[in-house]
Amino acid sequence: MSSAASINTPSFDIEAIRKDFPILAETMPGGKKLTFLDSAASAQKPQAVIDAMANVYGHEYANIHRGVYYLSQIATDHFEAARRKVQGFLGAAHDREIIFTRNATEAINLVAASWGRANLKEGDQVILSEMEHHANIVPWQLLREQTGIELVVAPIDDDGALIWEEFENCFTDRTKLVAMTHVSNALGTVTPIADIIRTAHDHGTLVLVDGSQAVPHIDVDVVALDADFYVFTGHKLYGPSGIGVLYGKEALLEAMPPYQGGGEMIATVTFEKTTYAELPHKFEAGTPNIVGAIGLGAAIDYLATIDRAAADAHEQALLAYTNEQLAGLNSVRIYGTAPQKVGLVSFAIDGAHPHDVGTILDHEGIAVRAGHHCAQPVMDRFGVPATTRASFGLHSDYDDVDTLVSGIKLVQEIFG
Amino acid sequence: MSDLRELYQEVILDHGKNPRNFGPLPEANREAHGHNPLCGDKIALHVVLDGDLVQDVKFEGAGCAISMASASLMTTILKGKTEAEARALFEQFHDLLTSNEEASLDQLEALDKLAVFSGVRDYPLRVKCATLGWHTLNAALDETGETVVTE
Ligand SMILES: Cc1ncc(COP(=O)(O)O)c(C=O)c1O
Cα A126 from Cα A25, distance rounded (Å): 46
The torsion of the CA quartet A212, A217, A218, A220, rounded to 10 degrees, works out to 40
pLDDT score of A235 more than 90: yes
Q: Which of A294, A352, A349 is nearest to A326 (CA)?
A: A349
Query: How many CB pairs (< 8 A) connect A and B?
Result: 52
- Whether residues A120 and A247 share a domain: the answer is yes
The answer to whether A385 contacts chain B (CB < 8 Å) is yes
Query: CA nearest B129 in A: which residue?
Result: A355
**Chain B residues inside the 8 Å CB shell of A385:** 39-40, 42, 62-63
Nearest to A353 among B4, B7, B63 (CB): B63
Structural domain count of chain B: 1
Angle, alpha carbons A288-A244-A216 (nearest 5°): 145
Measured from the CB, is residue A109 less than 6 Å from ligand 1? no
pLDDT higher than threshold 50 for residue A5: no
The residues of A assigned a catalytic role are 374
Instruction: Decide which of A256, A273, A304 is a domain's last residue.
Output: A304
> A412 CB less than 6 Å from ligand 1?
no
Same domain, A276 and A378: no
Q: Is A185 in the pocket of ligand 1 (CB under 6 A)?
A: yes
**Rounded to an integer, what distance in angstroms lies between the CA atom of residue A265 and that of residue A286?**
7
Q: Please tell me whether residues A289 and A185 are part of one structural domain.
A: yes
Domain end among A304, A330, A348: A304
Do both A101 and A33 map to the same domain?
no
- Nearest CA to CA, how far is B1 from chain A (Å)? 8
Q: How many CB atoms lie within 10 A of CB A413?
A: 10
Closest CA to A65 of A245, A261, A284: A284
The Cα of B47 is separated from the nearest Cα of chain A by a number of Å equal to: 26
Distance from CA of A371 to the nearest CA of B (A): 5
Would you give the end-to-end CA distance of chain B in angstroms? 28
Kindly report the CATH number assigned to the domain that includes residue A369: 3.90.1150.10
CB A349 within 8 A of CB A357: yes
Per-residue pLDDT at A335? 97
Sheet holding A369-371, edge to edge: A332-335, A344-349, A387-391, A369-371
The pLDDT of A396-413, averaged and rounded, is 97
Q: Determine whether the shortest distance from the Cβ of A133 to ligand 1 is under 6 A.
A: yes
* Interface check A410 vs B, CB under 8 A: yes
Contacts of A354 in chain B (CB under 8 A): 39, 64
Residue B47 three-state SS: strand
The residue ranges of DSSP E strands in B51-133, in sequence order, are: 53-62
Chain A residues in contact with B40 by the CB 8 A cut-off are 371-372, 379, 385-386
Domain co-membership, A19 together with A54:
no
Q: Which of residues 157-176 of A touch B (CB under 8 A)?
A: none
Q: Tell me, what CATH number does B113's domain have?
A: 3.90.1010.10
Q: What does the DSSP 8-state code read for residue B33?
A: E
Q: Which residues of A touch B5 (CB under 8 A)?
A: 414
Tell me, yes or no, whether A261 and A119 share the same domain.
yes
Domain region containing B11: 2-149
Distance in angstroms (rounded) separating the CA atoms of residues A66 and A51: 25
Residue range of the domain that includes A22? 2-47+307-415
**Residue A414 near chain B (CB below 8 Å):** yes
Query: How many other CB atoms sit within 10 Å of the CB of residue A29?
Result: 9
| Distances in whole angstroms, Cα of residue A217 to Cα of each of A136, A183, A330 | 20, 9, 30
Confirm or reject contact between B126 and chain A (CB < 8 A).
Answer: yes
The percent of residues above 70 in pLDDT, for chain A, comes to 97
- Write out pLDDT tens, residues A49-78: 999 999 999 999 999 987 789 999 999 999
A339 and A217 fall within a common domain: no
pLDDT tens-place string over residues A346-384: 999 999 999 999 999 999 999 999 988 899 999 999 998
**Residues A235 and A360 grouped into a single domain:** no
**Is residue A3 packed enough to be buried (19+ CB in 10 Å), middle (13-18) or exposed (0-12)?**
exposed
Q: How many domains does chain A have?
A: 2
Q: Is the CB of A213 under 6 A from ligand 1?
A: yes
Give A17-26's long-range contacts (Cβ < 8 A, gap of 24+): A17/A306, A17/A394, A17/A395, A18/A395, A18/A397, A20/A46, A20/A47, A20/A48, A20/A302, A20/A395, A21/A45, A21/A46, A21/A47, A21/A393, A21/A395, A22/A47, A22/A50, A24/A395
Neighbours of A340 (CB within 10 A): 12
- Compute the distance between CA of residue B43 and CA of residue A366 in angstroms, rounded to an integer: 29
pLDDT at residue A4 greater than cutoff 60: no
What is residue A6's predicted lDDT score, i.e. its pLDDT? 44
A415–B40 CB contact, under 8 Å: no
Mean pLDDT, all residues of chain A: 95
| Cross-chain residue pair B8–A414, CB shorter than 8 Å | yes
A10 and A101 co-located in one domain: no
Question: SS3 for chain A, per residue?
Answer: CCCHHHHCECCECHHHHHHHCHHHHCEECCCEECEECECCCCCCCCHHHHHHHHHHHHHHCCCCCCCCCHHHHHHHHHHHHHHHHHHHHHCCCCHHHEEEECCHHHHHHHHHHHHHHHHCCCCCEEEEECCCCHHHCHHHHHHHHHHCCEEEEECECCCCCECHHHHHHCCCCCEEEEEEECECCCCCEECCHHHHHHHHHHCCCEEEEECCCCCCCCCCCHHHHCCCEEEEEHHHHCCCCCCEEEEECHHHHHHCCCCCCCCCCEEEECCCCEEECCCCHHHCCCCCCHHHHHHHHHHHHHHHCCCHHHHHHHHHHHHHHHHHHHHCCCCEEEECCCCCECCEEEEEECCECHHHHHHHHHHCCEECEEECCCCHHHHHHHCCCCEEEEECCCCCCHHHHHHHHHHHHHHHHHHC
Q: Are residues A295 and A326 in the same domain?
A: no
* Last residue within a domain, chosen from A247, A271, A304: A304
Q: What is the pLDDT of residues B82-113, one digit of tens each?
A: 999 999 999 999 999 998 888 888 888 878 89
- C-alpha–C-alpha distance, residues B34 and A185, integer Å: 28
**Greater confidence, A300 or A5?**
A300
In whole angstroms, give the CA distance from residue A184 to residue A130: 10
Ligand 1: distance of its center to the CA of B63 in Å? 25
Verify whether ligand 1 is closer than 6 Å to residue A387 (CB atom): no
- Which residue's C-alpha comes closest to atom 16 of ligand 1? A185
User: Chain A: residue nearest B5 by CA?
Assistant: A414
Claim to verify: residue A79 and residue A134 sit in the same structural domain: yes
pLDDT of amino acid A11:
60
CA distances from B140 to A10, A293, B87, B135, B147 (A): 65, 50, 11, 9, 10
Atom of ligand 1 nearest to the CA of A185: 16
Predicted TM-score of the model (pTM): 0.93
Residues A237 and A110 occupy one common structural domain: yes
Mean pLDDT calculated for residue range A114-132? 98
| pLDDT by position in tens, chain B (length 151) | 458 888 999 999 999 999 999 999 999 999 999 998 877 789 999 999 999 999 999 999 999 999 999 999 999 999 999 999 999 999 999 999 998 888 888 888 878 899 999 999 988 889 999 999 999 999 999 987 677 777 5
